Structure formats: structure tokens, C-alpha cells
Amino acid sequence: MPGQDRISQLSDDLRSHILSFLRIEDAVATSILSTEWHNIWTLVSVINVDDNSIQVDEDRFYTIVDSILRHPLAPHSPLHKFILKCDECTSHAAINNLIRAALDRQVKELDLCIAQDDIEGKFPLPVEVYRNQHLKVLKLSRVRVHDDEPPGSFPPGSFPSLKNLQVDISYVCDESLQKFYHHCPVLEELRMEGELDAFPNVYCQFHVSSESLKALYIKLLSNFDVQDDEDEKEIYTFKIKANNLESLFIDEDILADYEMEEMISLVEGNIQIGWEHYQYGMGGRTFFNKAFKINGGIDPC
């Protein structure tokens, strides 16, 4: 019939699934459509929060997001994913409170992108995240993790269920993100991705050591002409020890250095290094040396 509201006739599960594709403020706004929609937003399995899209002052922002996560009807609906992107609202204590609220909802996937606070510095991952039994997917950008200093001080029993980890390794990434991967005992897929807007002056060395890791993706692209730098600096190094690795994908144009132990379980790989539109002649010694070094790590024979 013309003008018939078919969407409101869908089940609560279907309508909440549709709302999961919206930013949380838009999902909440549907509560004014009709009485049938009043509490549907509380059932969404994905909460996506960006402080750039909620135009209120900082204290009000934290209050709104907290009330959404801790709504009286919310505890009956476990979260599949919580996405939190903060560029302006960067209070460590307030953000910790929001993350704890999501963990209380048994969230399975946590995606954090938190800008550095002018006073407190880079946001430290709260200890509750390390010990959570429900968390299976973790995405980190512009945050820091425990640096295991002094040695042995890393939270015991960390990441007991974490299967998938994605880390932003852009130049702004914290040094602590270079070496904590061996503290993820059941990790199966690791994605390390980043972009460089300028040639960095700090050496970054990533240690990936894991007996459980099955798939490793490294994507690191520059927005400047690295080939014009005549010093041939090694600005990124990846040391990889993953004997059970089955899939390796590398796509980068900065000519990072790789140290790989024998990958006896590898069954597939896709390696792309160097600049797409740059012609490497016989003078491209650095390019060829690094390409051969990667190949040697994959197939030592």
C-alpha cells in the first residue's frame, strides 16, 4: 500500500542491525520516529563514536557516550564492536571509563583512535583491556601499550582470547607498539599499517614473535619521494619470528629492512616493495638487496 511503513514492521533484531551501520548519534535519533522505534537503538551491536560528529563540549561528550553505553536496557544486549575516535576529547580518565563500560557489555571488537592529550600525553591502554576474556579483535591507533619495563612487568595473562590485532605503525605510533606481540598467546592475524607524511628521523624496529600467528599483513606507504633521499636510511626494520605463519602480505614503498627466521609453514605470500612509478636500474642496489633479503627469509634454500 502507498505510504506503508514496512521498515517498522520488521523484527527488533533486523531494525537494530540496520541501525548498527549508523553513527550512534544517528541511531539514537531514530527513537523519535514512533513508539515502535523508541528503544530499538539500545539493541544495536555496534556503537561507533567520533567526537568530531557530536558537537558538544568535552564534559557533555563523555556524559552522552557513557549514558548510551550504560543505558538501563543496554546490559541485555552484548556489544559486537565499539569504535571510539577522539581528536579533541582526550581525557585519559574519562576515556578509560567509556572503554570499561564497553568491556562490561562483553564487547568482542574494540577499535581505538585517540589523539595525544596536551598534558597527559599518549593514551595508555587500560589494564582491563589486557585481561578481558571476551575481546577477540583489537585495533589501535595513536595509543600506547605497556612497554614491559622493567622486564617481566607486562600484565600477566594478557589478551587471553585475542585472535586479530591491527596496529597503526605510522611515524606517530608509540615505541611501545614495536614489541608487545609475543604477549598475545592466541593471536592468529596481525595487520600493521601506516602512512608517512615526511621522512622520519627516528629509527623504528618492530619485533613480531609469535607461535600462534597464521597471517601477517604489513602495509606502509609514504606521501613523499623516498628515492630522492640519497642517504638510504633504514627507517623501519621488521624482525619476524613466526614458525607457524601461513600467509604473508607486504605492501610498502619505503624499503624497510626485514629479518625473517625460516617460515616453514608458509603457503601463500604477496610481496610488493618500492615505488610504483619508479624505474629501478642497475643502480638500484638498495631495492634489490632488500628484495633478495625478503625472498631469503621466505625461502632460505
Distance between alpha carbon 193 and the CA centroid of its chain, in Å? 9
How much is the average pLDDT of 79-87?
93
CB 123 within 8 A of CB 92: yes
Q: How far apart are CA 132 and CA 161, in angstroms?
A: 8
pLDDT at 283: 45
pLDDT tens per residue, range 87-133: 999 999 999 999 999 999 999 999 999 999 888 889 999 999 999 99
| The residue to which cell 605503525 is assigned | 169
Q: Which whole number is the average pLDDT over 58-86?
A: 84
CA gyration radius for the chain? 22
The per-residue pLDDT for 162 is: 98
Rounded to two decimals, the pTM is: 0.82
Report helix, strand or coil for 189.
Answer: strand
Cα–Cα dist 270/207, whole Å: 20
249 within 8 A of 216, measured Cβ to Cβ: yes
> Nearest 5°: phi and psi at 188?
-115, -30
In the chain, pLDDT over 90 holds for what percent of residues?
Answer: 38
Instruction: Look at the block and give the residue holding cell 612497554.
Output: 147
Q: Which of 140, 126, 133, 189 is closest to 160 using CA atoms?
A: 133
Helices (H), the chain: 12-19, 24-29, 58-69, 92-104, 127-131, 285-298
CA-to-CA separations, 176 to 64, 142, 148, 206, in angstroms, rounded: 31, 11, 8, 10
User: For 216-259, what is each residue's pLDDT tens digit?
Assistant: 999 988 876 655 444 555 678 899 999 999 999 999 887 788 88
Does the pLDDT of residue 281 top 90, yes or no? no
Cell of 93: 580518565
What is the rounded average pLDDT for all residues in the chain?
A: 80
